[in-house]
Amino acid sequence: MTPAKLRTHTAKDLAQMARQQGIAGWHSMRKSELIAAIAAAHQRGAASESRSPDAEIPRPRQQRPTAAQRRLAELQTQRRRLQDIADPNAKQDRLVLLVRDPYWLQLNWEITTSGVARARTALGQHWHGAEPVLRIAKTAADGGTLAARQVKIHGGVDHWYVDVSDPPSCYRAEIGYVDSQGRFYSLARSNEVKTPEPGLSEQSADGWSDVARNADRVFALSGGYSHEGPSAELREALEERLRRPLGRPSETRMINGAGLGGADSLQVELDAELLLQGHATPHTHLTVQGEPVSVGPDGCFAVKLPFPDRRQVIPVVASSADGLHQKTIIVGVDRNTKSLEPRRRESSVG
């Protein structure tokens, strides 16, 4: 694989490739360093194959794996992950970036004593003035950095919350030490996440214990159910803390033993609320369906309404503070909920 072809990949993809090839120090490399390391590893592999005594022996053409074989490989991979979770000695420097809502990120880390020792050696005489910091970078689609900020953290903690803006946006973080000369030594680099569109959110600040209570939601917000899927570090960190696999039911039911009940045991009830939010001139008198709604000092307002299974016409009336001007907006919404017949999904593993 040539450097030119590698440049078409994102930094996230390159990091995963470097990790799979066993390249040392991949988590702290930048995109250019990852390209050079992967290209060098590819050249070494090609040279090794050319020296192999059976390199010229034609190999049989491999057949594409069947669906059952692919599913079996996925299950074996999950079982290996669970074995890794159960191993308490598999410690490494790790930084995990989680999305809590459109405006807040949570960072959790594990730093080994050997990692701190490497930083001490690298910073040398400037170590005594060094401070632990987080670097949060807003990233572009090609993996480049659009903006970055540095946050000082306290020693002895293992998680931090950082406010961000302009959702949806992509972020990546690093943890390390910065000395008095401004030199930064990176201990670990995080996965990349994308904040969601603004909307309803729940906020909390209770570290890993809160993540455990809302694990599936945090996993989804952090890219767990996206087309690309989560980073291996994110999945491993969450599964290690929760002591269970994460993913869609179709990915985990064989390990969890799910799917043993019949269709009658699967009960789902659905309700919905409608959120109206917007901005008006400060001190505006506002009503929604004839009920007054508070308008904040900045002009922002929000109200939750019942969302029954029918069509609704919702009038929103704004009046100026002196009562001389009035503006009406009509919102029409229609909820049509249908329940389909239940069906059973068959396992692809024979």
DSSP character for 32? H
Which of these, 48, 11, 239, lies nearest to 19 by C-alpha position?
Answer: 11
Which of these, 284, 313, 316, lies nearest to 303 by C-alpha position?
Answer: 316
Angle 112-114-120 from CA coordinates, rounded to 5°? 110
Helix residue ranges per DSSP H, the chain: 3-6, 11-20, 31-51, 67-85, 113-123, 207-213, 215-221, 232-242, 249-256
The class that CATH gives domain 273-334 is: mainly beta
pLDDT at 280: 92
In angstroms, the CA 344 to CA 114 distance is: 51
pLDDT at 259: 47
Residue with tokens 């600040």, as numbered in its chain: 205
pLDDT at 316: 95
Domain 94-256 matches domain 273-334 at the CATH topology level: yes
Residue-range domain boundaries for the chain: 1-52, 94-256, 273-334
Q: Mean pLDDT per segment of 10 residues, for the chain of length 350 residues?
A: 78 79 75 82 69 48 64 66 52 85 88 90 90 94 87 85 89 94 92 80 49 63 60 66 59 48 71 90 91 89 90 93 91 91 61
pLDDT at 158: 86
Which of these, 308, 262, 300, lies nearest to 283 by C-alpha position?
Answer: 300
Cβ-count burial 155-174 (b if 16+ within 10 Å, e if not): eeeebbebebeeeebbbbbb
User: In residues, how long is the chain?
Assistant: 350
pTM beyond cutoff 0.75? no
Sheet of 104-110: strands edge to edge? 94-101, 104-110, 159-163
In angstroms, the CA 346 to CA 232 distance is: 27
* DSSP annotation string for 108-157: EEE--HHHHHHHHHHHGGGGGG-EEEEEEEEE-TTS-EEEEEEEE--TT-
The class that CATH gives domain 94-256 is: mainly beta
